[in-house]
Amino acid sequence: MKRIAFSAAACATLAALPAIAEVESQDPIRLTTHDWTGQIINTTILQDVLQKAGYNTELVQADYIAQFAGLKTGDLHVATEIWETTGREAMDEAVATGNVVNMGEGGMIAIEEWWYPSYMEARCPGLPDWEALNNCASEFATSETAPLGRYLGGPVTWGGFDEERVEALGLDFEVVHAGTDAALFAELESAYQREAPIVLWLYSPHWAPAKYDGKFIEFPEYSKACYDDASVGINPDAAYDCGKPTGPIWKVAWAGVEDKWPGAAEIVRNYTLTNEEMGAMVSAVDLDGQSIEAVADQWMADNAAKVDGWIN
């Protein structure tokens, strides 16, 4: 009788656990993480959703653009954030090979561009028009870049064609890259508190555009032709003589995911976050000191019904 009772209890316990036996493979699904807080939060939540569905997962740190090599070969499996602003060319090239699949919009709309604090408008009349920058490049100069102004770009791995844009538009600026996402925003905080000159890469969704009073530089309007054809745009001899695109943040996957883990592929396609959700979560981590895991756990608890809908 004891043996029968134990078996019943064991069955009840197993029934309460995720349906591991029902997933197509227990080989780990490798999700890429990069070097900014929001993307790591995003990927951690997707990992939690997949694990709740019974899938085995791994987080693998990878460069934002270089990750496509691994996605093409199947060494990496899912990437949660390919920004229309900086990653569209690499994504389209990878999808064209047939080895990478666009898994749809991730729910957020991306803006990435040069940004300055509003107090700089008194020192540089004409802002936010990009043509004002050369009239006051010295206002943005540092001892390392003078007489050129200094533009603080994101980490080199983010791409973005800032050096090409400076050359194409004839800007009297030197691009200096921050080493990390954290370093970028630490320098902004320091400059803002001192009202020191700064123009830098800022992006949304993020807490910074809400916390700091400032504006994005208004460059000539982006077009795909501006990036692809030197004859298009205000400089007939150079591409990238325009601003950066805006648009969706995409999800991509190795093409084999749909065959090996079709249920997981469907979850990835369904999974979305909003700009508002992401801004709040990044703020909780970067400003309030919460851990990424705690923030992801709270999101999972607050959105349990939505997650169950993605899984079932």
Inter-residue long-range contacts of 86-92, CB under 8 Å, 24+ positions, other chains counted: 86/112, 86/158, 86/159, 86/160, 86/244, 87/159, 87/250, 88/245, 88/247, 89/227, 90/65, 90/159, 91/250, 91/252
Distances (CA, A) of 239 to 83, 134, 206, 227, 233: 20, 20, 29, 5, 8
Q: Is residue 92 part of a domain?
A: yes
The whole domain housing 175 covers: 111-228
CATH number of the domain enclosing 53: 3.40.190.10
Q: Is residue 241 part of a domain?
A: no
* Contact criterion met (CB below 8 Å) for 125 and 119: no
Residue 6 has what pLDDT? Answer: 33
Q: Is residue 234 part of a domain?
A: no
* Amino acid occupying residue 196: A
Alpha helix positions (H), the chain: 2-16, 37-52, 67-73, 88-96, 132-135, 162-168, 181-194, 208-211, 224-228, 257-260, 262-270, 275-286, 292-302, 304-311
* Same domain, residue pair 272 and 300: yes
- Cut 0.85: pTM above it: no
What torsion do the CA atoms of 85, 87, 88, 94 make, to the nearest 10 degrees?
180
CA 176/CA 193 separation, integer angstroms: 21
Residue 197 has what pLDDT? Answer: 96
Residues of the chain falling short of pLDDT 50: 1-21
* Same domain, residue pair 179 and 201: yes
Residue 3 has what pLDDT? Answer: 31
List all residues 6 or more positions away from 273 whose beta carbon is below 8 Å from its beta carbon: 42, 45, 106, 107, 108
Token pair of 44 as six digits? 């951690």
Alpha helix positions (H), 23-161: 37-52, 67-73, 88-96, 132-135
Q: Is residue 156 part of a domain?
A: yes
Which residues partner with 291 through β-bridges?
none
CATH number of the domain enclosing 131: 3.40.190.100
Of 172, 196, 228, the one marking the end of a domain is: 228
Distances (CA, A) of 218 to 116, 120, 126, 202: 11, 15, 11, 13
Strands 100-117 and 214-216, sheet pairing: antiparallel
Residue 210 has what pLDDT? Answer: 86
Sign, Cα dihedral of 279, 280, 284, 287:
positive
Inter-residue long-range contacts of 90-96, CB under 8 Å, 24+ positions, other chains counted: 90/65, 90/159, 91/250, 91/252, 93/68, 94/68, 94/252, 95/252
Residue 312 has what pLDDT? Answer: 85
Domain count, the chain: 2
Of 180, 199, 228, the one marking the end of a domain is: 228
Which residues partner with 152 through β-bridges?
176, 200
* Same domain, residue pair 177 and 88: no
* Same domain, residue pair 200 and 170: yes
* Same domain, residue pair 82 and 119: no
Q: Is residue 8 part of a domain?
A: no
* Same domain, residue pair 102 and 116: no
* Same domain, residue pair 121 and 161: yes
